[in-house]
């Protein structure tokens, strides 16, 4: 399993782990969090290595299906991206406000435009 896949499985487990069976939770925790091998987990549960492999794959499949249906991880990623955009726009708006002099209506219009962009991003988050 590649690092990205392991990280993805761990994130999905954080979001949806409570929806798995107790056995699936235990196998995921031992494999992903405690870094036990399939053989070590098999010994722990007194089942075959193949049984552990199957339980792990079934758990990961279930986690992916939960994400497809509920999309919580994708919503988190979208929210994080939106927050980054908001931070960038607000930084730009603050810099413009800081540079205000008397009668700088063009700058004020730029600030208004930036703040409207922030509102659009927030509105997208609420959808």
Q: Identify which has the larger pLDDT, 1 or 27.
A: 27
pTM exceeds 0.85: no
Q: Which of 52, 24, 57 is nearest to 38 (CA)?
A: 52
Residue 101 pLDDT class (50, 70, 90 cuts): low
- 13, 74, 85, 121 from 81: Cα distances, Å: 22, 11, 6, 10
Q: Terminus-to-terminus CA distance in the chain, angstroms?
A: 35
| Domain interval for residue 87 | 74-126
pLDDT, position 12: 94
> For residue 25, which of 6, 37, 7, 12 has the smallest C-alpha distance?
12
Verify that 7 and 60 share a domain, yes or no: yes
Q: Are residues 106 and 50 in the same domain?
A: no
Indicate if 15 and 66 belong to the same structural domain: yes
Domain count, the chain: 2
**pLDDT score at 103:** 63
**Same domain, yes or no: 54 and 95:** no
């Amino acid at each position: 399993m590649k690092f990205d896949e392991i990280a993805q499985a761990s994130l999905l487990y954080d979001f949806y782990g409570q929806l798995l069976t107790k056995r699936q939770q235990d196998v995921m925790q031992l494999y992903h969090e405690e870094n036990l091998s399939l053989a070590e987990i098999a010994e722990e549960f007194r089942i075959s290595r193949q049984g552990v492999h199957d339980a792990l794959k079934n758990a990961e499949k279930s986690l992916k299906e939960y994400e497809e249906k509920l999309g919580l991880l994708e919503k988190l990623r979208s929210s994080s991206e939106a927050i980054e955009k908001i931070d960038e726009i607000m930084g730009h708006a603050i810099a413009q406000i800081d540079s205000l002099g008397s009668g700088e209506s063009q700058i004020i219009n730029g600030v208004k435009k930036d703040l409207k962009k922030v509102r659009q991003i927030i509105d997208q988050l609420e959808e």
